[in-house]
Structure 1
Amino acid sequence: MQLGTRWTAGEQPPAAVPDALHEQLAAVERDLPPGAPTPRWTLTWLEGRPVAELDTGVIVTVDRSGAVVVRHDDEDEFA
């Protein structure tokens, strides 16, 4: 079992966050509206793969093929 972690957007991701996600996490953070409250990321693990979800609903994960995927929580993952 792997435990998740939380951190504030704009901060260095904790060591538990795989390097493969860092570039996309930073890209999502660059698109955050200036002056808005700073959201937080939550890292969890699903079927052994990392899932980073921002309070805004943006999800950054690794799919079965190993590709990093960015989606929003209102999108159907299996569409």
Structure 2
Amino acid sequence: MQLGTRWTAREQPPKAVPEALHAQIAAVEAALNPDGLSAPAPRWTLTFLEGRPVAELDTGVVVSQDAAGEVVVRYDDDAEFA
């Protein structure tokens, strides 16, 4: 069993986040547009689905690894904060 974790965007991902996801997580964070209103930074949630990592940002962006080991970035239309 693998446990997930949470961390704030633009901070170093915790050790539990597989290295394979780091580049795409950084790319998503680079595209975040700070609103200048001192709003808190969104947070990532790491979970594991069928043993594969899934990192979801509060904004609905999902970075995951598929069965072939490829890293996939998508948007979850059902995100709470979308």
Tell me the TM-score normalised to structure 1 length: 0.90
Q: Which amino acid in structure 2 is aligned with residue 48 of structure 1? A: G
Q: CA offset at residue 39 of structure 1?
A: 0.1
Matched, 1:74 2:73: no
Structure 2 stretches of 5 or more lacking a match?
Answer: none
1:14-50 per-position Cα deviation (integer Å, ceiling 9, x unaligned): 0000000000000000010123531000000000000
Q: CA offset at residue 74 of structure 1?
A: 1.6
| Alignment coverage as a number of residue pairs | 75
RMSD: 1.2
Structure 1 stretches of 5 or more lacking a match?
Answer: none
Once the two structures are superposed, the pairs formed by residues 32-71 of structure 1 within 5 Å of their partners are: 32-34=32-34, 35=36, 37-71=40-74
- TM superposition outliers: structure 1 runs of 4+ over 2 Å: none
SS in 1 for 2:23: helix
Matched, 1:7 2:10: no
